[in-house]
Amino acid sequence: MNVEKQILYFSRLAKLGVSKEILTTLPELAEAMFTSTRHCRALLKELSNAGWIEWTPKVGRNQRSHLFLNYSLEGMKAELSKQLIREGSYEKALNLIDNDQELFGRLLKSTSGTQQHQGRLHVQLTYNRQFSTLVPHIPQRNSERFLLRQVYSCLTRCDELGHIQPDLAHHWSYDEQKLVWRFHLRPYLRFHDGSDINSAVVVELFQQLRKSAVYKQELSHIKEMRAINPLCIELELSESDPGLAGLLSQIKYSIQPSIQDSKARKVVGSGMFKVAEHSPQQLTLQAFDDYHGFRALTESITIWQVVEQSSQVFGDTVLQAGRGKQTSTLCSNYLSVDGGKSESESEQRSSIEDGCLLTIVNSRAQLSLSQRKFLGQLISTDRLLQQVASTTDKVEAVPAYNLLPDWLGMLQIQDCVESLPKRLTIGTFEHKALKKCAPIITELLERVGVTCTTRVYSFEEFHQRASDNTLSEDLLLTSMNLDENRPISAFYWMWSNPIIHQSLPVQDATWLKGRLTEIRSEKPITRYLKELEPIASALITSGWVIPMFHHRQTLRFEGVLKNVAMNTWGWPVLQDIWSDESQAS
């Protein structure tokens, strides 16, 4: 008998009562189930074998049989839906619970983790918001950048120390006299749609990117781009750049067939996973068989969008698995892997996120140096977190005294009191922590007679306005997030970040560009972070940048994913997830 008919007959039994002993006879049950006594007997046996009911028949005159329903009708549907979800039959599961999205979300969380189907490993996760289109040539949030790394490859890779490693290109060379770079592609490379990756495709892509405002500054020193042969790309420069191979390791230089539509859901990449489905409800990644490196152990990853309940934990970037006490996040990435395990089985990874949340003082506010320093005292990291602690149950953020946690902390001598404008405006984008910081800053400034108004943009509009030089708010709340190529990420955040460059006065912006140009021309990538530290410190002491705090990233899974590392973005290393089939749920 199919499940739908089983549920129909069970629903008729449920009218007699749930979770209590029912004394009845077979004819009475047959009447309640609208069937014959013979069929009723078979149905009761079937439902009992399935574990839905407990049926103890009695024989003889005046003997009443014992019936006990183990589930309510709603509970039974939920249990069946869980099983369908585990089998990957998501639409059937949703239909079974009458398209109840809230219940569906809870079931997704409780069934998340790993599943084995025909020896192949499938991972199911939940996340608290929709993902934007996975294209690399537009500004992206932290979690999208992580996913872009899964879907695309670059010509090169760069590790956290600044060492360049092969990716699509297996070798490269730089002629310091002629200022010419050459990159040699691996043979037989394929995009996810089966088309060839060759030098002509890569050169055409870079030519397209060079015309975009997002790339103009970074590529302005490239005079010529040539395809020497199908597997060799040549880039001729107008000025020295011994770190160009590192530049091309950035996510924004991921190799795609051409610039893809920023609203497209089905994108074509070149990485270890391809996008099988991308809808507002879910993102499914499938391992790419023709990937040029080691194939992912994980066959597929499905990430469902499930809205999380708000909580009273501040600054904790949590990727959670399990039914332990929920600690929420005020950041952009909240992942859940809930396998229904007990809290005692929990595994946890935790680290301080590279980068920070920060306030940038817009030069259009026309604040003097002494005013900016006084403002920095009023909304310093210590005062912000002290204020947060008075309004939330738990603070899971670390004070930021510089842009990176391991850079020298810049402390202020609190000896200046300056008059500030009666009104200041605050601009930020849709980001939980930043939106919570805005009213805290407002409250701190109100204590000295400054009234603040806040405007919250979408992530896309905020960055577009910065690129167009039209962010007019006096205080701009934003974030600095680094990728795994730490030195390159930090350098080009300072070099290309439109929010900084549109906010600095011309003289300071020119100074910043000059210092960065010197570093790019003269220093190896392994020296970038050391050279950048005093520049960041200068921006802070001059009052243009006010660090707020560093996030604490936490990855929890209640015995579902074991021995899985956490990467720079605070996500599990998806391609290395593995579970023995004999232990799979």
**Mean per-residue pLDDT for 544-553?**
91
Q: Identify the pLDDT of residue 557.
A: 58
64-68, 235-239, 402-406, 535-539: least confidently modelled range: 64-68
Tens of pLDDT, residues 473-505: 999 999 999 999 999 999 999 999 999 999 999
User: Of 228, 253, 278, at which residue does a domain stop?
Assistant: 253
pLDDT at 71 over 80: yes
Final residue of a structural domain among 253, 268, 289: 253
Q: Token digits for 569?
A: 């973005």
350 and 555 Cβ atoms separated by less than 8 Å: yes
pLDDT tens profile 42-51: 999 988 888 8
Asked if 61 and 156 sit in the same domain, the reply is no
- The amino acid present at 301, given as its one-letter code, is I
Residue 423 is assigned to a structural domain of this protein: yes
Residues 385 and 475 in one domain: yes
Residue where one domain finishes, among candidates 225, 253, 281: 253
Q: Is 237 inside any structural domain?
A: yes
Mean pLDDT of the chain: 86
pLDDT of residue 410: 87
Cβ-based neighbour number of residue 280 at 10 Å = 9
pLDDT of residue 328: 39
List Cβ neighbours of 48 (8 Å cut-off, separation of 6 or more). 54, 55
CATH number of 421's domain: 3.10.105.10
The predicted structure's pLDDT at residue 347:
60
Instruction: Read off the tokens for 139.
Output: 């500004």
**Residues 385 and 520 reside in one and the same domain:** yes
Q: Are residue 361 and residue 242 in the same domain, yes or no?
A: no
User: What per-residue confidence (pLDDT) applies to 288?
Assistant: 96
Between the ranges 12-16, 61-65, 462-466, where is the mean pLDDT highest? 462-466
CA–CA distance, 528 with 543 (Å, rounded to integer)? 23
Q: What is the CATH number of the domain that holds 164?
A: 3.90.76.10
Q: Give the rounded percent of residues in the chain with a pLDDT score beyond 90.
A: 55
pLDDT at 581: 58
CATH number for the domain spanning 38: value is 1.10.10.10
Number of domains in the chain: 3
Q: How confident is the model at residue 72 (pLDDT cuts 50, 70, 90)?
A: confident
Secondary structure element (H or E) that encloses residue 399, with its range: strand 397-399
Residue 451 lies in a domain: yes
Mark whether 44 and 151 lie in a shared domain.
Answer: no
Phi then psi for residue 454, to 5 deg, are -120, 140
The pLDDT score that the predictor gives to residue 580 is 63
Whether residues 421 and 509 share a domain: the answer is yes
Q: Which pLDDT does position 478 carry in this prediction?
A: 97
For residue 485, the 8-state DSSP code is S
Each as own residue / partner, the long-range contacts of residues 33-42 (CB below 8 Å, 24 or more positions apart, any chain) are: 33/9, 35/9
Residue 16: domain span: 3-71
Q: What is the mean predicted confidence (pLDDT) over 393-407?
A: 84
Helix, strand or coil, per DSSP, at residue 552: strand
pLDDT digit string (tens) for 256-303? 999 998 888 889 999 999 999 998 888 999 999 999 999 988 899 988
CA dist 549 and 547 (Å) reads 6
CA distance 567 to 565: 6
Largest distance between two CA atoms of the chain = 106
pLDDT of 228 reads 97
Q: Establish if 248 belongs to a structural domain.
A: yes
Which stretch of 188-197, 335-344, 374-383 has the lowest confidence by average pLDDT?
Answer: 335-344
Instruction: Look at strands 545-558 and 355-361 and give their pairing.
Output: antiparallel
Q: Which residue has the tokens 């021309």?
A: 521
**In the predicted structure, residue 545 carries a pLDDT above the cut 50:** yes
For the stretch 101-148, pLDDT in tens is: 777 777 776 666 677 766 788 888 878 788 999 999 999 999 999 999
- Give the pLDDT confidence of 201-249 residue by residue, as tens digits: 999 999 999 999 889 989 999 999 999 999 999 999 999 999 999 999 9
One domain for residues 49 and 146? no
Q: pLDDT band for position 395 (50/70/90)? A: low
Percent of the chain with pLDDT over 70: 87
Task: Name the token pair of 503.
Answer: 């906010």
Q: 507 and 403 in one domain?
A: yes
Q: Is the dihedral of CA 157, 160, 161, 162 positive or negative?
A: positive
* Rg of the chain, C-alpha, whole Å: 29
Helical (H) or strand (E) element with 40: helix 37-49
Q: Read off the pTM.
A: 0.81
pLDDT at 333: 42
Whether residue 63 is found in the same domain as residue 153: no
> pLDDT at position 453, please?
97
Lowest average pLDDT, out of 16-25, 84-93, 421-430, 527-536, goes to 84-93
Same domain, 491 and 383: yes
In a domain, 36, yes or no: yes
Closest by alpha carbon to 126, among 287, 340, 338, 347? 338
Residue 474: inside a domain: yes
pLDDT above 80: residue 341: no
Top pLDDT among 317 and 432 is at: 432
**270 falls within a domain:** no
Q: CA 481, CA 431: separation in Å to the nearest integer?
A: 13
pLDDT band at 570 (very low <50, low <70, confident <90, very high): confident
Q: Do 249 and 367 reside in the same domain of the chain? A: no
Within a domain: residue 373? yes
pLDDT class of 391 with cuts at 50, 70, 90: confident
Q: Compute φ and ψ for 124, nearest 5 degrees.
A: -120, 130
Answer yes or no: are the C-beta atoms of 196 and 246 closer than 8 Å: no
Confidence of residue 345 (pLDDT cuts 50, 70, 90): very low
Q: Let me know: does 189 contact 270? Beta carbons within 8 Å.
A: yes
pLDDT over 90 at 584, yes or no: no
Specify whether 418 is located in the same domain as 536: yes
Predicted local distance difference test score (pLDDT) of residue 326: 40
Residue 362 confidence (pLDDT): 98
> What residues form DSSP beta bridges with 69?
53
